[in-house]
Each structure stands twice: as C-alpha cells, then as structure tokens.
Amino acid sequence: MARDTCDGCGRTVTVAGGIANLWTFGEDDGSEGTAMTLEFENGSDHLLCYPCIAALPDEPTDADVARLEQVDEETSRLESS
Ligand SMILES: [Zn+2]
C-alpha cells in the first residue's frame, strides 16, 4: 500500500493495491485505500481521495480538480470561484 497525497485537496491518502486487496475487499479492517486514480477523457489522471471524488461532477475536468478543497477529515467540496 502506497502513501500519497490527494491531487485535489492535498490530504494524505493511502492507495490499496496488489493482490492482498482481494482478500480484504469488502471488509472494514482498515487496510483499504482511501483514494483512487481517476482518468479523465483528456488523458490526464489524478489521484483523488474519496471525498474529492464524491464532490466532483459526473464529468470532471482538470479545472474541477484544481478547485477541490478539504472541508474536514471526511468532506471535500468544490471551491466556488
Ligand atoms: Zn481530496
């Protein structure tokens, strides 16, 4: 499991990966990742935490990622400009 930071809000995240995740899938044992890599239609990809993914619109763009900000440990939002 790799540690990294969210491209949107910058919070520290963990990325589950490798075969070990198969055995823990669906179990809340604390070993699941807290982020996913999203690939956009323009070919760019971003590592985003789940709160940021939840805050993004259905068809997110790089501009949306740039507007993401952390509200608290469990919540992110799009900064209004
Ligand atoms: Zn985030």
| Residues, CB within 5 angstroms of ligand 1 (ion) | 6, 8-9, 49, 52, 76
Nearest to 35 by CA among 64, 76, 80: 76
Ligand 1 centroid – CA 13 distance (Å): 8
pLDDT along the chain (81 residues), means of 10: 86 71 48 82 91 93 95 93 68
CA–CA gap between residue 80 and residue 43 (Å, rounded): 25
Residue 19 has a pLDDT of: 46
Ligand 1 centroid – CA 22 distance (Å): 24
Residue 29 burial (C-beta neighbours within 10 Å; 0-12, 13-18, 19+)? exposed
Residue 34 has a pLDDT of: 87
- 51 near 76, Cβ under 8 Å? yes
Residue 53 has a pLDDT of: 94
Q: Is the pTM of the predicted complex or chain greater than 0.85?
A: no
